[in-house]
Structure 1
Amino acid sequence: MQKITPSLWFDNNAEEAINFYSGIFKQSKVLDKSYYGKGSPMPEGLLLAATFELAGQQFMVLNGGPQFPFTEAVSFIVNCENQEEVDYYWSRLTADGGKEVQCGWLKDKYGLSWQITPTSLHKMISDKDPEKSGRAMQAMMKMVKLDIAALEKAYNGE
Protein backbone atom coordinates (compact mmCIF):
# COMPACT_ATOMS: atom_id res chain seq x y z
CA MET A 1 0.00 0.00 0.00
CA GLN A 2 1.34 3.45 -0.87
CA LYS A 3 2.06 5.79 2.04
CA ILE A 4 0.00 8.76 0.77
CA THR A 5 -3.23 8.41 -1.22
CA PRO A 6 -5.01 11.44 -2.72
CA SER A 7 -8.66 11.54 -1.71
CA LEU A 8 -11.12 13.24 -4.06
CA TRP A 9 -14.48 14.60 -2.86
CA PHE A 10 -17.22 14.37 -5.48
CA ASP A 11 -20.76 15.69 -5.59
CA ASN A 12 -22.49 12.31 -5.93
CA ASN A 13 -20.83 11.34 -9.25
CA ALA A 14 -17.69 9.56 -8.00
CA GLU A 15 -18.59 6.23 -9.59
CA GLU A 16 -19.06 7.94 -12.97
CA ALA A 17 -15.69 9.68 -12.48
CA ILE A 18 -13.93 6.38 -11.70
CA ASN A 19 -15.30 4.92 -14.94
CA PHE A 20 -14.24 8.04 -16.88
CA TYR A 21 -10.67 8.05 -15.55
CA SER A 22 -10.32 4.26 -15.85
CA GLY A 23 -11.23 4.52 -19.51
CA ILE A 24 -8.40 7.01 -20.08
CA PHE A 25 -5.48 5.63 -18.08
CA LYS A 26 -3.98 2.22 -18.77
CA GLN A 27 -3.39 -0.14 -15.88
CA SER A 28 -6.54 1.01 -14.09
CA LYS A 29 -8.49 -1.02 -11.60
CA VAL A 30 -10.99 -0.57 -8.80
CA LEU A 31 -9.64 -1.95 -5.53
CA ASP A 32 -12.72 -1.58 -3.33
CA LYS A 33 -16.12 0.10 -3.13
CA SER A 34 -18.61 0.80 -0.36
CA TYR A 35 -22.14 2.14 -0.69
CA TYR A 36 -24.47 4.24 1.43
CA GLY A 37 -26.97 2.10 3.32
CA LYS A 38 -30.48 2.67 4.57
CA GLY A 39 -30.77 5.59 6.96
CA SER A 40 -27.55 7.28 5.80
CA PRO A 41 -27.35 10.97 4.86
CA MET A 42 -27.22 10.13 1.13
CA PRO A 43 -29.48 7.95 -1.04
CA GLU A 44 -29.25 4.24 -0.30
CA GLY A 45 -27.12 2.46 -2.91
CA LEU A 46 -25.09 5.55 -3.88
CA LEU A 47 -21.35 4.96 -3.87
CA LEU A 48 -19.97 6.15 -0.53
CA ALA A 49 -16.26 5.65 -1.18
CA ALA A 50 -13.91 3.69 -3.38
CA THR A 51 -10.22 3.12 -3.86
CA PHE A 52 -8.96 2.76 -7.40
CA GLU A 53 -5.70 2.82 -9.29
CA LEU A 54 -4.66 4.75 -12.40
CA ALA A 55 -1.30 3.94 -13.99
CA GLY A 56 -0.03 2.54 -10.68
CA GLN A 57 -1.21 5.49 -8.54
CA GLN A 58 -3.93 4.87 -5.96
CA PHE A 59 -6.75 7.35 -5.37
CA MET A 60 -9.70 7.35 -3.04
CA VAL A 61 -13.03 8.94 -3.89
CA LEU A 62 -15.92 9.98 -1.69
CA ASN A 63 -19.41 11.05 -2.65
CA GLY A 64 -19.89 13.79 -0.11
CA GLY A 65 -22.15 16.32 -1.80
CA PRO A 66 -21.59 19.82 -3.17
CA GLN A 67 -19.87 21.41 -0.15
CA PHE A 68 -16.27 21.12 -1.39
CA PRO A 69 -15.72 21.61 -5.14
CA PHE A 70 -12.31 21.15 -6.73
CA THR A 71 -10.05 24.18 -7.20
CA GLU A 72 -6.84 24.82 -9.10
CA ALA A 73 -4.96 24.72 -5.80
CA VAL A 74 -4.50 20.98 -6.42
CA SER A 75 -3.77 19.41 -9.79
CA PHE A 76 -2.42 16.15 -11.14
CA ILE A 77 0.54 16.10 -13.51
CA VAL A 78 0.52 13.57 -16.31
CA ASN A 79 4.11 13.08 -17.52
CA CYS A 80 4.10 12.44 -21.27
CA GLU A 81 6.98 11.02 -23.29
CA ASN A 82 5.88 12.41 -26.68
CA GLN A 83 3.33 14.57 -28.47
CA GLU A 84 1.09 11.59 -29.14
CA GLU A 85 0.69 11.09 -25.37
CA VAL A 86 0.13 14.82 -24.80
CA ASP A 87 -2.59 14.83 -27.47
CA TYR A 88 -4.18 11.62 -26.14
CA TYR A 89 -4.53 12.77 -22.53
CA TRP A 90 -5.48 16.30 -23.54
CA SER A 91 -8.33 15.19 -25.79
CA ARG A 92 -9.66 12.60 -23.34
CA LEU A 93 -9.54 14.78 -20.23
CA THR A 94 -11.14 17.79 -21.96
CA ALA A 95 -13.91 15.63 -23.49
CA ASP A 96 -17.57 16.06 -22.59
CA GLY A 97 -17.30 19.46 -20.94
CA GLY A 98 -13.67 19.70 -19.86
CA LYS A 99 -11.99 23.10 -20.27
CA GLU A 100 -8.62 24.04 -21.72
CA VAL A 101 -6.79 26.49 -19.50
CA GLN A 102 -3.18 27.55 -20.24
CA CYS A 103 0.42 26.28 -20.13
CA GLY A 104 -0.62 22.64 -20.36
CA TRP A 105 -3.33 22.93 -17.69
CA LEU A 106 -6.91 21.81 -18.13
CA LYS A 107 -9.97 21.09 -16.05
CA ASP A 108 -11.88 17.89 -16.70
CA LYS A 109 -15.68 17.72 -16.75
CA TYR A 110 -15.70 17.20 -12.96
CA GLY A 111 -13.67 20.36 -12.33
CA LEU A 112 -10.45 18.51 -11.42
CA SER A 113 -7.28 20.25 -12.68
CA TRP A 114 -4.62 18.37 -14.65
CA GLN A 115 -1.26 19.35 -16.12
CA ILE A 116 -0.46 17.44 -19.31
CA THR A 117 3.30 17.85 -19.39
CA PRO A 118 6.02 16.54 -21.72
CA THR A 119 8.85 15.04 -19.69
CA SER A 120 11.29 17.06 -21.82
CA LEU A 121 9.81 20.34 -20.56
CA HIS A 122 11.43 20.07 -17.13
CA LYS A 123 14.87 19.65 -18.73
CA MET A 124 14.29 22.68 -20.95
CA ILE A 125 13.02 25.10 -18.30
CA SER A 126 15.65 24.03 -15.75
CA ASP A 127 18.59 24.34 -18.16
CA LYS A 128 21.60 26.15 -16.66
CA ASP A 129 21.67 28.40 -19.73
CA PRO A 130 19.19 31.15 -18.76
CA GLU A 131 18.61 32.11 -22.40
CA LYS A 132 17.58 28.58 -23.39
CA SER A 133 15.40 28.05 -20.33
CA GLY A 134 13.89 31.51 -20.69
CA ARG A 135 12.95 30.91 -24.34
CA ALA A 136 11.31 27.61 -23.43
CA MET A 137 9.42 29.22 -20.55
CA GLN A 138 8.22 32.10 -22.73
CA ALA A 139 7.03 29.69 -25.41
CA MET A 140 5.18 27.58 -22.83
CA MET A 141 3.46 30.65 -21.37
CA LYS A 142 1.89 31.40 -24.78
CA MET A 143 0.48 27.89 -25.23
CA VAL A 144 -2.69 26.23 -24.11
CA LYS A 145 -1.97 22.57 -24.96
CA LEU A 146 1.80 22.11 -25.00
CA ASP A 147 3.49 21.55 -28.36
CA ILE A 148 6.79 19.73 -27.88
CA ALA A 149 8.22 20.65 -31.30
CA ALA A 150 7.48 24.36 -30.74
CA LEU A 151 8.98 24.20 -27.24
CA GLU A 152 12.13 22.57 -28.59
CA LYS A 153 12.43 25.20 -31.36
CA ALA A 154 12.16 28.01 -28.82
CA TYR A 155 14.61 26.26 -26.50
CA ASN A 156 17.14 25.87 -29.35
CA GLY A 157 16.66 29.47 -30.51
CA GLU A 158 15.17 28.54 -33.87
Structure 2
Amino acid sequence: MATPKNLVCLWYDKDQAGEAARFYASVFPNTEVKAVHKAPDDFPGGKKGDELTVEFTVLGIPCLGLNGGPNFPQTEAFSFQIATDDQEETDRYWNAIVGNGGQESACGWCKDKWGLNWQITPRVLTDAMAEGGAIAQAAFAAMMDMRKIDVSKTEAAVAGARADA
Protein backbone atom coordinates (compact mmCIF):
# COMPACT_ATOMS: atom_id res chain seq x y z
CA MET A 1 0.00 0.00 0.00
CA ALA A 2 1.49 3.33 -1.06
CA THR A 3 1.67 6.05 1.55
CA PRO A 4 -0.19 9.20 0.45
CA LYS A 5 1.99 12.16 -0.56
CA ASN A 6 0.38 14.23 2.21
CA LEU A 7 -1.50 13.11 5.29
CA VAL A 8 -2.51 14.44 8.68
CA CYS A 9 -0.35 13.15 11.54
CA LEU A 10 -2.20 13.07 14.84
CA TRP A 11 -0.25 12.58 18.07
CA TYR A 12 -1.95 10.36 20.64
CA ASP A 13 -0.92 9.31 24.10
CA LYS A 14 0.60 5.83 24.33
CA ASP A 15 -1.57 3.07 22.81
CA GLN A 16 -4.55 5.31 21.91
CA ALA A 17 -4.23 5.76 18.12
CA GLY A 18 -5.72 2.38 17.23
CA GLU A 19 -8.67 2.74 19.57
CA ALA A 20 -9.36 6.25 18.26
CA ALA A 21 -9.08 5.17 14.60
CA ARG A 22 -11.46 2.24 15.15
CA PHE A 23 -13.95 4.58 16.85
CA TYR A 24 -13.80 7.09 13.98
CA ALA A 25 -14.38 4.23 11.51
CA SER A 26 -17.47 3.18 13.47
CA VAL A 27 -18.93 6.71 13.36
CA PHE A 28 -18.05 8.33 10.03
CA PRO A 29 -18.64 7.02 6.50
CA ASN A 30 -15.65 6.65 4.17
CA THR A 31 -13.48 6.11 7.27
CA GLU A 32 -11.35 3.04 7.81
CA VAL A 33 -8.29 1.69 9.56
CA LYS A 34 -5.78 0.86 6.83
CA ALA A 35 -2.73 -0.46 8.71
CA VAL A 36 -1.14 -0.81 12.13
CA HIS A 37 2.64 -0.60 12.41
CA LYS A 38 4.64 -1.98 15.32
CA ALA A 39 7.86 -0.44 16.61
CA PRO A 40 10.85 -2.26 15.08
CA ASP A 41 12.93 -1.63 18.21
CA ASP A 42 12.77 -0.09 21.68
CA PHE A 43 12.23 3.68 21.73
CA PRO A 44 11.80 6.36 24.42
CA GLY A 45 8.61 5.42 26.24
CA GLY A 46 8.06 2.16 24.37
CA LYS A 47 9.35 -1.25 23.44
CA LYS A 48 9.88 -3.25 20.30
CA GLY A 49 6.53 -4.60 19.11
CA ASP A 50 4.42 -1.83 20.66
CA GLU A 51 1.81 -0.31 18.35
CA LEU A 52 3.64 2.76 17.04
CA THR A 53 1.50 4.16 14.21
CA VAL A 54 -1.93 3.56 12.73
CA GLU A 55 -2.85 4.53 9.18
CA PHE A 56 -6.50 5.47 8.81
CA THR A 57 -8.86 7.79 6.98
CA VAL A 58 -11.50 10.16 8.32
CA LEU A 59 -14.16 10.83 5.69
CA GLY A 60 -11.54 10.01 3.06
CA ILE A 61 -8.79 12.21 4.55
CA PRO A 62 -5.61 10.17 5.06
CA CYS A 63 -4.29 10.26 8.62
CA LEU A 64 -1.49 8.73 10.62
CA GLY A 65 -2.05 8.20 14.34
CA LEU A 66 1.22 8.27 16.26
CA ASN A 67 1.33 6.75 19.75
CA GLY A 68 3.83 9.35 20.88
CA GLY A 69 3.03 9.61 24.57
CA PRO A 70 1.77 12.45 26.77
CA ASN A 71 4.26 15.13 25.68
CA PHE A 72 2.09 16.84 23.07
CA PRO A 73 -1.64 16.77 23.85
CA GLN A 74 -4.21 17.84 21.27
CA THR A 75 -5.40 21.47 21.30
CA GLU A 76 -8.11 23.47 19.56
CA ALA A 77 -5.40 24.64 17.13
CA PHE A 78 -6.35 21.57 15.06
CA SER A 79 -9.84 20.22 14.48
CA PHE A 80 -11.78 18.26 11.92
CA GLN A 81 -14.73 20.26 10.61
CA ILE A 82 -17.51 17.90 9.60
CA ALA A 83 -20.20 19.36 7.33
CA THR A 84 -23.66 17.97 8.07
CA ASP A 85 -26.79 18.16 5.97
CA ASP A 86 -29.48 18.17 8.67
CA GLN A 87 -30.16 17.96 12.40
CA GLU A 88 -30.26 14.16 12.41
CA GLU A 89 -26.74 13.93 10.99
CA THR A 90 -25.52 16.70 13.32
CA ASP A 91 -26.99 14.90 16.33
CA ARG A 92 -25.58 11.52 15.27
CA TYR A 93 -21.97 12.74 15.04
CA TRP A 94 -22.18 15.05 18.06
CA ASN A 95 -23.75 12.39 20.25
CA ALA A 96 -21.24 9.75 19.15
CA ILE A 97 -18.26 11.94 20.06
CA VAL A 98 -19.65 13.46 23.27
CA GLY A 99 -21.35 10.22 24.32
CA ASN A 100 -18.11 8.25 24.04
CA GLY A 101 -16.28 10.14 26.77
CA GLY A 102 -15.97 13.43 24.87
CA GLN A 103 -16.85 16.95 25.93
CA GLU A 104 -19.12 19.64 24.56
CA SER A 105 -17.74 23.07 23.80
CA ALA A 106 -19.27 26.16 22.19
CA CYS A 107 -20.39 27.02 18.65
CA GLY A 108 -20.49 23.46 17.29
CA TRP A 109 -17.16 22.34 18.75
CA CYS A 110 -16.65 19.19 20.78
CA LYS A 111 -13.68 17.12 21.86
CA ASP A 112 -13.38 13.34 21.72
CA LYS A 113 -12.08 11.30 24.64
CA TRP A 114 -8.56 11.34 23.15
CA GLY A 115 -8.53 15.16 23.10
CA LEU A 116 -9.03 15.62 19.34
CA ASN A 117 -11.31 18.54 18.49
CA TRP A 118 -14.24 18.36 16.10
CA GLN A 119 -16.51 21.01 14.60
CA ILE A 120 -19.86 19.45 13.76
CA THR A 121 -21.17 22.13 11.43
CA PRO A 122 -24.48 22.07 9.55
CA ARG A 123 -24.21 23.38 6.00
CA VAL A 124 -27.02 25.85 6.72
CA LEU A 125 -24.59 27.67 9.02
CA THR A 126 -21.60 27.65 6.65
CA ASP A 127 -23.81 28.64 3.71
CA ALA A 128 -25.21 31.59 5.69
CA MET A 129 -21.72 32.67 6.74
CA ALA A 130 -20.59 32.54 3.10
CA GLU A 131 -23.46 34.84 2.08
CA GLY A 132 -22.08 37.58 4.29
CA GLY A 133 -23.90 40.72 5.39
CA ALA A 134 -27.04 40.52 7.50
CA ILE A 135 -27.52 36.81 6.75
CA ALA A 136 -24.09 35.95 8.15
CA GLN A 137 -24.62 38.25 11.12
CA ALA A 138 -27.92 36.58 12.00
CA ALA A 139 -26.51 33.05 11.69
CA PHE A 140 -23.39 34.02 13.66
CA ALA A 141 -25.46 35.59 16.47
CA ALA A 142 -27.61 32.46 16.71
CA MET A 143 -24.54 30.21 16.77
CA MET A 144 -22.91 32.17 19.58
CA ASP A 145 -25.60 30.95 22.01
CA MET A 146 -25.25 27.28 21.06
CA ARG A 147 -23.10 24.33 21.96
CA LYS A 148 -24.36 21.76 19.42
CA ILE A 149 -25.69 23.69 16.43
CA ASP A 150 -29.48 23.72 16.21
CA VAL A 151 -30.42 23.66 12.52
CA SER A 152 -33.97 24.99 13.03
CA LYS A 153 -32.77 27.95 15.13
CA THR A 154 -30.13 28.73 12.51
CA GLU A 155 -32.71 28.53 9.72
CA ALA A 156 -35.07 30.78 11.71
CA ALA A 157 -32.32 33.37 12.23
CA VAL A 158 -31.51 33.34 8.51
CA ALA A 159 -35.21 33.58 7.57
CA GLY A 160 -35.63 36.54 9.93
CA ALA A 161 -32.68 38.33 8.36
CA ARG A 162 -34.08 37.71 4.88
CA ALA A 163 -37.48 39.06 5.91
CA ASP A 164 -35.87 42.22 7.29
CA ALA A 165 -33.90 42.80 4.07
Would you call these one fold, judging by a TM-score over 0.5? Answer: yes
Q: Deviations over 1:65-97 (max 9, x none)?
A: 110000001111001011111000000011232
The CA deviation at 1:23 is 1.0
- The amino acid of 2:115's aligned partner reads G
Structure 1: which 5+ residue stretches go unaligned?
Answer: none
The CA deviation at 1:153 is 0.3
Structure 2: which 5+ residue stretches go unaligned?
Answer: none
1:132 counterpart (112, 130, 135): 135
Moved more, 80-89 or 130-139: 130-139
Corresponding residue of 2:24: 21
Note the 1:72-91 alignment, pairs <5 A.
72-91=76-95
Q: How has the CA–CA distance of structure 1 residues 50 and 85 changed in structure 2, closer, same or farther, with 3 Å as cutoff?
A: same
2:153 counterpart (137, 150, 153): 150
CA distance in 2, matches of 1:145, 1:101: 8
**What number of residue pairs does the alignment pair up?**
157
Corresponding residue of 2:13: 11
The CA deviation at 1:37 is 4.0
Contact 2:21 / 2:32 at 8 angstroms: preserved in 1?
no
CA distance in 2, matches of 1:123, 1:9: 32
- The amino acid of 1:70's aligned partner reads Q
Contact 1:95 / 1:109 at 8 angstroms: preserved in 2?
no
Q: Deviations over 1:93-132 (max 9, x none)?
A: 112321100000011111111000011212212224x222
- The amino acid of 2:87's aligned partner reads Q
**Percent sequence identity over matched residues?**
39
- The amino acid of 1:88's aligned partner reads R
CA distance in 2, matches of 1:112, 1:91: 15
The CA deviation at 1:3 is 4.2
CA distance in 2, matches of 1:132, 1:49: 44
The CA deviation at 1:133 is 1.9
Residue aligned with 1:144, SS = coil
Note the 1:16-95 alignment, pairs <5 A.
16-41=19-44, 42-95=46-99
- The amino acid of 1:154's aligned partner reads A
The CA deviation at 1:34 is 0.9
- The amino acid of 1:124's aligned partner reads A
Q: How has the CA–CA distance of structure 1 residues 39 and 127 changed in structure 2, closer, same or farther, with 3 Å as cutoff?
A: closer
The CA deviation at 1:140 is 0.6
TM-score, length-scaled by structure 2: 0.87
CA distance in 2, matches of 1:94, 1:62: 23
